[in-house]
Amino acid sequence: MRDFRAELEQRQANGLYRWRREVQTPQQPDMVVDGRSVLSFCSNDYLGLANHPDSVAAARDALLETGLGGGASHLICGHHSAHHELEETLARFTGREAALFFSTGYMANMGVISALAGRGDTIFSDRLNHASLIDGCILSRARVRRYPHADVAFLEAMLAETEGHKLVVTDGVFSMDGDVAPLPEIAAACRRHEALLVVDDAHGFGCIGAGGRGSIDHFGLSAEDVPVVIGTLGKAFGTSGAFVAGSQLMMDYLVQKARTYIYTTAMPPAVARASCTSVQLVEQGDDRRAHLARMIARFRREASAMGYTLMPSDTPIQPILVGDAWSALALSQALETRGIWVTAIRPPTVPEGEARLRVTFSAAHTEAHLDRLLRALSECREAIAGTAA
């Protein structure tokens, strides 16, 4: 029998043990965690909409109208008019013909990729893709070829030597590094080699592009350039669930083939109704995005001047590269003693030797919040035992 206890003890010895923290407040900068007040810089609520009064009111009103549960899968009796309204809203937002509403981003990626590729096909995946994309590739049973991060020349060489149906999958904004994929070059390579391009823009939507329309809009790419785009609603949109958008033909195909869509209970209709409101808030959020950009620029300038090693990112994801897991934990804990909550990210989430603190910004943060973070980082320099300097 497998020794589960020994595995857990080994993870603890290596500084890789994971544990959950108990949050007692809504998602917002000032939170109560495990009974203690902290200033959070680790949420994906990039636009500060998770507790927005308009979305909360929309959800409350919808609960009275639609009830709580989804009741059944979309293909039984769970597809409510609120779901349909959200899908039409997301199709317009992304400039696509149609969209499908999934329960989570993980389920969207698993379902879409395993539906669009199978035995005998080949999937090309960026080495730093999110775990849900990686697992979707595995579930598909297709041949999977990984290319070095953002290396389009390497990808194109692999595409050129491969026959048959080809699928290229990439994050738009990479969740642990915060950089943006070279989508124009990837799209061009896919056109030349007749590969279908799927982009997961979970961390791009809301943050970049006109009206927060993400990395695809940021580069001025069309639906022909990127036929399938996936997004989550639990990040910049501030609600819950996920979606895939593309042609009506593609959405019809996914309704028939995406097992994570077919075989799960539909999300509560009230969440869909609140998400419609959140899409409007994202579109109208230019002031929030401008505020974010100013804070990010100041953080990068001042944290770099302290000697911290930052990664090349202009998005709300601002990793501080530390190196080993124990040093990342030490810095995280030193910050928390000063009332700042930033999570240490360790292998296997990131490669060995690249443990980091993943600092994430929200439009709900103020300049005073940033002052506190920078002051705490200045005081914690001695806590780093590794490669940050």
Q: Annotation-wise, does 46 bind a ligand?
A: no
In one-letter notation, the amino acid at residue 45 is D
Tell me which of 74, 80, 235, 369 is the catalytic residue: 235
Whole-angstrom Cα distance, residue 215 to residue 171? 10
Cβ neighbours of 24 (radius 10 Å): 11
Tokens of 122: 């080949």
Rounded to whole angstroms, what are the CA distances from 349 to 117, 220, 236, 241, 314? 25, 31, 21, 22, 21
- 3-state DSSP percent of the chain in helix, strand and coil, to 5: 45, 20, 40
Give the distance, in angstroms, between the CA of residue 208 and the centroid of all CA atoms in the same chain.
13
Is 235 catalytic? The answer is yes
Q: Annotation-wise, does 203 bind a ligand?
A: yes
Tell me which of 43, 175, 240, 275 is the catalytic residue: 175
Is 165 catalytic? The answer is no
Q: Annotation-wise, does 106 bind a ligand?
A: yes
Read out DSSP for 321-364? EEESHHHHHHHHHHHHHTTEE--EE-TTSS-TT-EEEEEE--TT
Q: Annotation-wise, does 366 bind a ligand?
A: no
Q: Annotation-wise, does 18 bind a ligand?
A: yes
Tell me which of 203, 218, 365, 369 is the catalytic residue: 203
Q: Annotation-wise, does 66 bind a ligand?
A: no
Whole-angstrom Cα distance, residue 156 to residue 108? 26
Binding region for substrate: 18, 130, 349
What residues act catalytically? 175, 203, 235
Residues tagged in the binding site annotation for pyridoxal 5'-phosphate? 105-106, 175, 203, 232
Residues annotated in a binding site:
18, 105-106, 130, 175, 203, 232, 349
